[in-house]
Structure 1
Amino acid sequence: MIRMLLRVLGHRYSGPMRRTLALMTTTAVVEGLSYALLVPVLRALLGDAPGDARPWLGAFGAAVAGYAVLRYLSDLSGFRVGTALLRGVYHRLGDHLARLPIGWYGPARVGEVSALAGQGVLQAMSVIAHLLAPFVSAAVTPLTVVGVILVLDWRLGLAALAAVPVVAAIQILTGRATAAEDARRAARDREATGRVVEYLRAQPVLRAGGRTAERFQLLDDALREVQRASRRSTLATLPGALGLTLTVQAAFTAVLVLGAHLALDGRVGAAELLAILVLTARCADPLLSLADLGGKLRAARGELARLDAVLRTEPLPQPAEPARPAGHAVEFESVAFRHGGRTVLDGLTLSVPEGQRLAVVGPSGAGKTTLLQLLARFHDVDAGAVRIGGADVRSIGTAELMARFAIVFQDVYLFDGTIEENVRLGRPDATGAEVRAAAAAARLDEVVERLPEGWSTRVGEGGARLSGGERQRVSIARALLKDAPIVLLDEVTSALDPVNEAAVHAGIERLMAGRTVVMVAHRMRTVRHADRIVFLDAGRIVEEGGHDELLRRGGRYADFWNLSLAPAAGGRGRE
């Protein structure tokens, strides 16, 4: 576990951790050695001149005081290092997450990372502040005491030493026996948490279906599984705890019986025997605490393992000598991409000259959004190449690549700040006049005028205080302010009401003016004015051309177009 902890901390933060560990180990050794002074103290007290014990009592008191100082320093170091490393690990985790491909962040992954970055990191780093010192003391102090007993009497020392491998074996076997159960329990906890969120989100559906008094079966099942997993996890620890207790008691009994036998034969003095029994009894408490510490350490180890797995996830490789694109033309050359065990794009080739608009249409699951994601390098292709201005996106630095894109997706995420702060994310150094101009072009100024606090209105987490159309206007204003040469649009008007759709469409037209555009849309009216349209199905281009040309062919695109007109025609027939 210590190796994993050091790996998670990284080279920058492992140094203070090693020094703290060394101080804790020294403290535990000093504690064990201080007990050796009990031998001359008891020998003098039980001898003919009890007064001779005074200097030894002074030495024992000084040793205990020295141990107390070391214990204070080691505990203080543990708390300070734990706090510093907690901040350091958060920085390291944040820096690493910022380098991972955006495609890595699936819906389930976001929830997992959220839990890990919250309670997970705190629990993992609590090892340093709260568990490491007691664990080192419980492991090192008894070993030091056994060494002292070996020096006093090798026979009694061997009797005490015999318990060491048994205790170690019990701890190892208990850890192995409970690891699987702990993992299952953690999985059940995560599933139950997801079901709770699902239950809360499903309230409108459940109430609309008249199921307000009905229990949510999926949630009940998940909670029952958590209960079963918790019971199995607890039962898995019982043999280890019982075995540890029996081993410690058996070792003490063995030392007591053997010591009594040696004392009756005159081969060991009463003072030495009494001191050895005190030392042996002193070993029992830290050894017995290993059962409780082991459970806490295993729980923290599970979080460490999950944190380690995230930190060991390879980010997209960065070029040693970044290339600079010559222009803003877009090209896909024989691109193949697999995700989730299926082929999403298969040998796709297309190009978009600089300043032109490409519209991508097709059925759900055809790979349309993936096309945009590969262009922005959310993922790397499995075969072929994606180029911008003649340069492979894999050879362009991340900052340089992202500076060339203005991206507007259907699902807009806004940070819990003001409207102006969210717009300024497009270009933080923009002037107030530039922000207002971008907002006016996106017709966001109409929204701002309706809000009581205007530009200072806080949008809530994810933009929850704004409607979908209002969030889209913020997103378009942000993209306009960025003023990037390539625009990527993904279903930006598919779920908007007519008023917001008209406003967003006007903003999109301003955003696309004079730029290279790749757009994905279901609403066909947004693609008819594109310079070229490609129809994508099963990861392949089955048709391409202009709007009028594709209609004359009467193929898949024409079928889509006619279907999009059918609702409107039906509506006119009913009027």
Structure 2
Amino acid sequence: MSGPVSSRRRDRMLIVKLFRLAVPERGLLAAAGAAKFAEMLAAAVPLGVVYWLARGLLSGGALPSPGVVALVLAGAFAAQGVLFYGATRLGAEAGTRLTCRLRLDLARHLRRLPLGEVKRRDSGDLTALLMQDVTTIEQVPSLIFGRTVAGLAMTAILLAGCAWVDARLAGLLVLGIPVAVLVQRRSSRRLAREAAQGAAWRGRMGGAVLELLQGMRVVKGFDPGLPVGRLERATAGHRDAAKGLTATYVRASMGFPVLLDAGALAAGAWAVHGLLGGGLDPAQFLLVWFVALRVFAPVHEFTEFAAMLELMDASLTRIQAVLTEPVLPEPATPRSPERFDVAFDRVGFRQGGDAILTEVSFAVPQGGVVAVVGPSGAGKSTLLRLLTRSWDVTEGAIRIGGVDLRDMDEETRASCLAVVSQEVFLIAGTLRENIRIGRPDAPDDAVTAAAEAAQCHGFISALPQGYDTVLGDRGHTLSGGERQRVALARAILKDAPIVLLDEATSALDPRNEALAQRALGALLPGKTVLVVAHRLRSVAEADSILVLERGRIVEQGSHAALIGRNGAYARLWARYENMLGWRGLP
């Protein structure tokens, strides 16, 4: 359907989204709403007492004793306090559970998305989604299902009571509702647009902040103002969106209550006419005025939440946009391989319409070592990412032990593989926790043994807290060589049957490369190994070498055989040897 979605339909969509989102918390939400409604009933008790006393005084009838009045009022105030506490606690508990569950659901869903779908999103925008947007939703239980729902129910009961006393009174009270709703609908459409713009700018701000922090060292050598400029533009955009949202909200907050209260004023005028004409006694007159002044108070409160509701709707829309992205399918009846050879069978992979890999077929026997070489952009790293199922192949199949990757569940697939790449991922935890990532239940002595095999026990032991030293963000307190050896220790500890090496030593200096090669000597024996490398000497001893160009295998064989063919590999080798000579490297 073209054109803007109507406010009423959008409101219904928001309510439906909220209810669907909070299914596990519905019991808590219902209890919070019931407690809030009971609190409002308790708050109405003093009004009933005043009416009771007024009727007794004006009619000359018997009055309740002061003790009874005090007891009733004390009970009402006590009940109001207890119910307020209960409603607040229940709403807060529902909100906390909802946000915790939602963040974990988003994280799990992101993990199951194809890598390309994650990478095309700004990391700052995803951070804002997981933190700020989810936090915005935390207000839903206490506002929507607590105060608002109970307040609207109280308004409906008061209006029904007025209609039972006199239909004319109820008719006057609702006099301004149609025009007020019309005004609110127009304001809601604009609020929705501005809330969506604000959410988008918030995501851009998150991206700019991450860019500023992560690129600080590099940018200082070029244009220090570049990331700050992006942050300034994002901040200005968010500021302008917030100003527009505030202005629209203020206008709506002024117009909607005034139009509603027009009906209350009309009811008050009718009460004066009734009192003067003898249609109402003084007690009824007071009651009508109390009701007229209070009947729309909860609706006024609802109006105050209008901007927040639109922000919630914008956040919900952004969250659902991620949760509805199709994930990599998992098999209904997963299979597990009994051996650990790897086979690529006529594999093709396309991304964005471009062919990255075409008709790639090769096998890595169990315990064998196969290397992949070729120019940058040939698709070498893509082979490894397809083997970890970061994406699904577009054509053909990849098998481990004869079992298609798509027929394995995530846990089985992960247990078969250990990955060591040039980009080392370290968490902001202890060194012990970083090494244990691949095997969380490993005992301390196994962690130490893996670190010794990876040539990193020495520098870890020299640290003040040893293995309990807490690393900074992304392990920045360690050198590049030290980070790489921690990654190798992690792979050694996991002891997976298949090892994938993606330029694992290409960024290391000669000393650190020698230490890493010793660590690889402890990691690789007996394993099925697929290695991507630019340093051709490091793979010259591989059982087989694949030469990849423009996504196709153009040569395959041992180092000696490929040199003898004087083809693509021989040309790569000659360039590599010339580069080493130019650099004066051995």
Preserved CA contact (<8 Å) 1:42 1:275: no
Matches within 5 A, 1:489-568: 489-568=501-580
Residue type matched to 1:520 in 2? V
- Report the CA distance between 1:471 and its aligned residue: 1.0
- Report the CA distance between 1:88 and its aligned residue: 4.9
Name which of structure 1's ranges 355-364 and 142-151 shifts more when overlaid on structure 2: 355-364
Residue type matched to 1:126 in 2? Q
- For the pair 1:368 / 2:368, whether they are aligned, the reply is no
Preserved CA contact (<8 Å) 2:30 2:145: no
Residue type matched to 1:328 in 2? F
SS of corresponding position for 1:349 = strand
- Report the CA distance between 1:34 and its aligned residue: 7.6
- For the pair 1:282 / 2:284, whether they are aligned, the reply is no
Residue type matched to 1:364 in 2? S
- Report the CA distance between 1:40 and its aligned residue: 5.0
Name which of structure 1's ranges 553-562 and 486-495 shifts more when overlaid on structure 2: 553-562
Task: Say if 1:50 and 1:266 are closer, same or farther in 2 by CA, change over 3 A.
Answer: same
Q: Which residue matches 1:49?
A: 60
Structure 1: distance between partners of 2:220 and 2:104? 44
Structure 1: distance between partners of 2:80 and 2:452? 71
Name which of structure 1's ranges 96-105 and 352-361 shifts more when overlaid on structure 2: 96-105
Preserved CA contact (<8 Å) 2:373 2:532: yes
Preserved CA contact (<8 Å) 1:6 1:17: no
Q: Which residue among 171, 186, 192 is the counterpart of 1:179?
A: 192
Preserved CA contact (<8 Å) 2:245 2:307: no
- Report the CA distance between 1:330 and its aligned residue: 0.9
Q: Deviations over 1:500-550 (max 9, x none)?
A: 122112322432222111111222222222222223344333333333333
Q: Which residue matches 1:135?
A: 148
SS of corresponding position for 2:295 = helix
Instruction: Tell me the C-alpha RMSD between the 2 structures.
Output: 3.4
Task: Say if 1:34 and 1:316 are closer, same or farther in 2 by CA, change over 3 A.
Answer: farther
Task: Say if 1:173 and 1:547 are closer, same or farther in 2 by CA, change over 3 A.
Answer: farther
Q: Which residue matches 1:150?
A: 163
Q: Which residue among 234, 241, 252 is the counterpart of 1:222?
A: 234
Q: Which residue matches 1:349?
A: 361
Preserved CA contact (<8 Å) 2:268 2:288: no
Structure 1: distance between partners of 2:564 and 2:308? 71
SS of corresponding position for 1:337 = strand
Identity of aligned residues (%): 35
Task: Say if 1:386 and 1:34 are closer, same or farther in 2 by CA, change over 3 A.
Answer: farther
Preserved CA contact (<8 Å) 1:41 1:57: no
Residue type matched to 1:424 in 2? R
Q: Which residue matches 2:436?
A: 424
SS of corresponding position for 1:412 = coil
- Report the CA distance between 1:390 and its aligned residue: 0.5
Matches within 5 A, 1:434-513: 434-513=446-525
Q: Which residue among 321, 339, 343 is the counterpart of 1:331?
A: 343
Preserved CA contact (<8 Å) 2:33 2:150: no
Residue type matched to 1:139 in 2? L
Name which of structure 1's ranges 324-333 and 422-431 shifts more when overlaid on structure 2: 422-431
Give me the TM-score of the superposition, normalised by structure 2: 0.85
Structure 2: distance between partners of 1:26 and 1:312? 38
- Report the CA distance between 1:206 and its aligned residue: 4.8
- Report the CA distance between 1:232 and its aligned residue: 2.2
SS of corresponding position for 1:181 = helix
Structure 2: distance between partners of 1:341 and 1:33? 69
Task: Say if 1:94 and 1:54 are closer, same or farther in 2 by CA, change over 3 A.
Answer: farther
Q: Which residue among 209, 228, 234 is the counterpart of 2:246?
A: 234
Q: Which residue matches 1:255?
A: 267
SS of corresponding position for 1:155 = helix
- For the pair 1:403 / 2:415, whether they are aligned, the reply is yes
Structure 2: distance between partners of 1:91 and 1:224? 32
Q: Which residue matches 2:6?
A: none
Q: Which residue matches 2:211?
A: 198
Preserved CA contact (<8 Å) 1:28 1:140: no
- Report the CA distance between 1:280 and its aligned residue: 1.2
SS of corresponding position for 1:190 = helix
Give me the TM-score of the superposition, normalised by structure 1: 0.87
Preserved CA contact (<8 Å) 1:38 1:60: no
- Report the CA distance between 1:195 and its aligned residue: 1.9
Name which of structure 1's ranges 191-200 and 91-100 shifts more when overlaid on structure 2: 91-100
Residue type matched to 2:298 in 1? P
Q: Deviations over 1:402-426 (max 9, x none)?
A: 1111111211122333323322333
Task: Say if 1:180 and 1:368 are closer, same or farther in 2 by CA, change over 3 A.
Answer: farther
How many residues are matched? 571
Task: Say if 1:349 and 1:9 are closer, same or farther in 2 by CA, change over 3 A.
Answer: farther
- Report the CA distance between 1:338 and its aligned residue: 3.5
Q: Which residue matches 1:322?
A: 334
Structure 1: distance between partners of 2:584 and 2:100? 63
